[in-house]
Copies of this chain bind each other. A is one copy, B any other.
Amino acid sequence: MPQYDLPLPELERYRSGVEAPGDLRWFWDSTISTARSCMWMPKVERISTPLELVDVYDVTFSGFGGDPVKAWYRRPAGRSDDLPVIVRYQGYTGGRGLPHQVGHWPLAGYAVLDVDSRGQGAGGGAVGDTADPHGHGPSYLGGFMTRGLDDPQDYYFRRLLTDAVLAVDVATILPGADASRICVTGVSQGGGIALAVAGLRADLAAVMSDVPFLGDVPRGMAMASAGPYLEVAAFLASHRTKVGRALATLAYVDTTVLVPWATAPALFSVALMDNVCPPSTVFAAHNAYGGPASIEVYPYNDHEGGQFHHEAVQLTWLANVLDNLAG
């Protein structure tokens, strides 16, 4: 994939053309408060694993509609102090994985809450354990992008983002969590969720969003040549009368209309050869972000982005952010 999108200087100025729906604030306030109104206490069970260095807890919490959502809560073994918690959201089709799939955060002394994406978890080796008990209306393409696309109230991402917001509620009350240092992170879909959560709540300490999805969705649909944006395009290729309605629904979950409300410091990453989340859609989210934000640019990467290299960047960045917070 060549660098097919705008030149970097234009990317740095690029603004999404998506307009926030008039009732956007109300939509999310009411959605989240409704979900909280039927919330039940999370179940947190320590499970036995072959791991000695990390304690793993199986968390079940109340998501959208009170539906049970699964997560792993992992902490450095034997630490009794309150730790910052990284809430991590998953990439498209992935789930929370197996108990021993720990990742780098706990090794660096952080607690991590790895949240399932409801219904997802059959792709890329990372399995999931959370049902999406909501059926859907007629004529759905497969995947998750077009489930309930006819109506913002029924749309899959309304449920998914609500789960994500509530996962932070849960994170603040987990055993050994420092509620003043809750961070959100994710790659691709997970990065888009993290941004949406950053827009929807003001109590986060930091946001790390890599090659994020869900920014300037109409441009994503016009420019992407692989990945989930193509599901929407394919759906509209059959359902030609539903273009307007689909774009209207998508405007409620587009990160470019949510992140202007964000306040926490944020670290983005973008890959200039990314054909799943076109660079302009990532910059569109970055350039609209309400809080302080910086972005790492990977000129020769496709959607894998900064991978392990960027993990190291994040470890340093986050330590600084939390130090400043402490200072």
User: Which residue numbers of A lie inside 8 Å of B, CB to CB?
Assistant: 1-3, 50-54, 70, 76-77, 93, 95, 97-98, 100-102, 104, 106-109, 116, 119-144, 146, 221-225, 233-241, 243, 273, 298-302, 304, 306-312, 315-316, 319
Task: Let me know if A223 and B3 touch, CB within 8 A.
Answer: yes
User: A203 to B100, alpha carbons, bound, how many Å?
Assistant: 29
Q: Write the nearest CB–CB distance from A103 to chain B, whole angstroms.
A: 9
Pick the contact of A50 from B144, B238, B319 — CB < 8 Å? B319
Pick the contact of A100 from B130, B301, B315 — CB < 8 Å? B315
Task: Let me know if A142 and B100 touch, CB within 8 A.
Answer: no
Contacts of A135 in B (CB 8 A): 119, 131-135
Task: Let me know if B233 and A300 touch, CB within 8 A.
Answer: yes
Contacts of A302 in B (CB 8 A): 237
- 10 CB contacts below 8 A, A to B, read A53-B106, A93-B142, A98-B309, A100-B107, A100-B312, A122-B239, A123-B238, A130-B139, A132-B140, A236-B300
Given contacts A50-B315, A225-B2, whether A95 and B138 have CB atoms under 8 Å apart is yes
Q: Which of A76, A243, A299, A304 has the most CB of B within 10 A?
A: A299
Select from chain B the residue with minimum beta-carbon distance to A95: B139
Q: Write the nearest CB–CB distance from A7 to chain B, whole angstroms.
A: 9
Select from chain B the residue with minimum beta-carbon distance to A298: B240
Select from chain B the residue with minimum beta-carbon distance to A275: B2
Pick the contact of A308 from B2, B101, B224 — CB < 8 Å? B101
Contacts of A119 in B (CB 8 A): 135-136, 138-140
Task: Let me know if B98 and A102 touch, CB within 8 A.
Answer: no
Given contacts A223-B2, A233-B300, A237-B302, whether A142 and B139 have CB atoms under 8 Å apart is no
Given contacts A76-B53, A238-B122, whether A138 and B130 have CB atoms under 8 Å apart is yes
Task: Let me know if A126 and B52 touch, CB within 8 A.
Answer: no
Task: Let me know if B221 and A300 touch, CB within 8 A.
Answer: yes
Select from chain B the residue with minimum beta-carbon distance to A299: B243
User: A241 to B310, alpha carbons, bound, how many Å?
Assistant: 11
Task: Let me know if B139 and A108 touch, CB within 8 A.
Answer: no
Select from chain B the residue with minimum beta-carbon distance to A302: B237
